[in-house]
Amino acid sequence: MTPQTGAALLERRGTDRDVTASAAPAPRTAVRPPAPADAGPTPPARRRGVPRPPGRRGPLWLAALVAGALVAALPSTMTAESTPVAAGAADYGLGVASDLGVTGDMEDASVRQGITEAQARVRLEELAASRAARTPATVLPAQGRLTTCFCMRWGSMHYGLDLAGPLGTPIYASTDGVVIRAGRASGYGNAVYIQDADGNVHIYGHMRYYDVQAGDLVRAGDQIAKIGNEGFSTGPHLHYEIHRGGMTGRPIDPQEWLAERGVHI
């Protein structure tokens, strides 16, 4: 090879390198799309902050929460107001209680005071002075049908007579005496207690109305009340009971007591 030829060859190789280098692709650079012309500055990322205090309305919110708690604490069951009873039925003592038993304990504190048996004897002395001139000495306490005697009933002793009659039938004092108690009594609804001259206590029960009070003197045949249906009662009637010798004395058969004095049922 001649020197001229070798130089030409070197020059040719250098030219090839330049061509190859210029033909190699340039490295890629990420190109962002142009932002819209009307876009503003990019907002900063949100950060979760601490809740703001309620400010001036804080006391109002607290009061509302306390009120709600008080309402929730109220009892779930409230006492319902009873439906008023028709005046006509109430006035005549219409009731639905059953005659399961009679205790006769006075309910009203003012009624329980009454008068003592000693005071009753003093009043009876005033009454005895005019007794001989008056008749009759004993009467039937009410006109009605005998429905229950002084006997066993429903497995227990019934210590009196039941005389059934229409509502409002007059009730009379069966003998002279002095009223020692009158008013509400357990089992009887209303009751009148009269002590006679022998110390016996006559009990009249279940009436709606009564016309006497403690301390009144009554004579045989005086109207003292009207038949009702109060207390433990299955229908309008008078419960008539006698205790020998006082309030706590032994109950005796009123039918026999009346018969001994000429009054028969």
Supply the pLDDT for residue 40.
52
Supply the pLDDT for residue 126.
72
Distance CA 132, CA 185 (A): 34
- For 48-91, the DSSP string reads --PPPP-GGGHHHHHHHHHHHHHHHHS-S--PPPPPPPPHHHHH
Phi/psi for 236 (5° steps) reads: -60, 125
Supply the pLDDT for residue 87.
35
Supply the pLDDT for residue 134.
64
| For the chain, domain boundaries | 104-259
Which tokens is 220 given? 């045989």
Residue with tokens 């009605």: 144
Distance CA 161, CA 264 (A): 13
Q: Which residues of the chain have pLDDT under 50?
A: 2, 7, 9-10, 15, 18-24, 29, 37, 39, 50, 75-102, 109-112
Supply the pLDDT for residue 23.
46
104-259 belongs to CATH 2.70.70.10: yes
Supply the pLDDT for residue 127.
72
Comparing CA positions, the residue from 203, 240, 213 lying closest to residue 115 is 213
Comparing CA positions, the residue from 145, 189, 188, 150 lying closest to residue 165 is 145
